[in-house]
Amino acid sequence: MQVEGWITEEDVGVLDQEGACRMQGAKRLTLDLAGVRFIDTAGIALLKRWSEQGLELCGGSRFVRSLLNAHGLGQRR
C-alpha cells in the first residue's frame, strides 16, 4: 500500500479503514512511505498499532525515517 503527502489526524480514520481492509486475510502488509512528507502524532500512533499487527514500512525521506526511528518504528526494509 502506498501513501503520499501528510499522515495527520485528519487522514488517520480513512487510512485506518483502508489498511484494515487490506490487512484482513493478508499475511503481510507493506506500507510504502516514499511520497510521505510528514507524520503527526495521530499518524505515528496508527503506524505503531499497525506494526504490532505485522505492518512493514519501506521508503520515506530522511526526515520521515528519522521521525519513525525516534518513535521506535525503525524500518525493516
Maximum CA pair distance of the chain?
Answer: 32
Interval 16-53: pLDDT, tens: 999 888 888 777 789 999 999 999 999 999 999 988 88
Which pTM value belongs to this model?
0.86
Enumerate the β-bridge partners of residue 29.
55
State residue 75's pLDDT score. 61
- Is 76 inside a domain boundary? no
- Is 35 inside a domain boundary? yes
- Is 32 inside a domain boundary? yes
- State the total domains in the chain: 1
- Is 53 inside a domain boundary? yes
Q: What percent of the chain clears pLDDT 90, i.e. is strictly above it?
A: 69
DSSP the chain: -EEEEEE-HHHHHHHHHHHHHHHTT-S-EEEEEEEEEEE-HHHHHHHHHHHHTTEEEE---HHHHHHHHHTT-----
Task: Return the CA Rg of the chain.
Answer: 11
- Please give the residue range of the domain that contains residue 15: 2-70
